[in-house]
Amino acid sequence: MPRAEALTPLSLLKQILLLQTIYYTIILILVGFSCWVSGDAFNLGLIFDWHSVRFDNTIGWTISMLWLIDTVFTVLAMTVIVGRSKLALDFTVTLHVINIIVSTIYTRALPTNGLWWLIQATSTVLMTILGTWTSQWRELRKTFFEEGYEMVSRNTNQPSNPV
């Protein structure tokens, strides 16, 4: 269970910044590796420019899939960093709102690409559901499967041994 100090404004800000940094680091690695393997030139526009997410070319579809893969890895980071299922929606929405702001600032225009918005919405839903589930699993594991807790087998084939 997170300590009470884990919910201070400064601590929340640190968690948001760390999660955002991990989110962008993962996509940077994924896109960089994809460009290296395919022989394409890497540029930051592939990450921050919403124009690069398109229906009509392979790069657009690849970037879209990489953002969804990034979602899965970010869920793992969120589970470790935040660790509370009740905060999964808050951190997910914050992460994506910041991404929308960064993309808008980078391109100097509010995104109008339907596929980009679909990827953002899908990522938000996936991250919220998976983040809640993994955090709940982690919370319950600590509660029910702590060290020293011995599970009792309820095998009905064994005769009872009254003491």
Q: Would you say residue 107 lies in a domain?
A: yes
Residue 77 burial (CB count, 10 A) = 17
Report the alpha-carbon distance of residue 99 to residue 126 in Å, rounded.
16
pTM above threshold 0.85: no
Q: What is the dihedral of CA 46, 51, 55, 59, to 10 degrees?
A: -20
Q: What is the pLDDT of residue 136?
A: 83
Q: Would you say residue 151 lies in a domain?
A: no
Could you tell me if 95 and 127 are in contact, meaning their C-beta atoms sit under 8 angstroms apart? yes
Q: What is the pLDDT of residue 86?
A: 85
Q: Would you say residue 94 lies in a domain?
A: yes
Q: What is 6-37 written as a DSSP string? A: GGSHHHHHHHHHHHHHHHHHHHHHHHHHHHHH
Containing structural domain, residue 127: 7-142
CA distances from 115 to 35, 72, 120, 144 (A): 21, 19, 9, 42
What's the gap between Cα 33 and its chain centre?
A: 19
Q: Would you say residue 71 lies in a domain?
A: yes
Could you tell me if 129 and 137 are in contact, meaning their C-beta atoms sit under 8 angstroms apart? no
Strand ranges inside the chain, DSSP E: none
Q: What is the pLDDT of residue 84?
A: 81
Q: What is the pLDDT of residue 17?
A: 96
Q: Would you say residue 65 lies in a domain?
A: yes
Tens of pLDDT along 105-135?
999 999 999 999 999 999 999 999 999 998 8
Q: What is the pLDDT of residue 159?
A: 57
Q: Would you say residue 18 lies in a domain?
A: yes
Q: Would you say residue 132 lies in a domain?
A: yes
Residues of the chain below pLDDT 50: 1-5
Domain count, the chain: 1
Q: What is the pLDDT of residue 5?
A: 47
Q: Would you say residue 67 lies in a domain?
A: yes
Q: What is the pLDDT of residue 75?
A: 93
Residue 15: which of 28, 26, 2 has the closest Cα?
A: 2
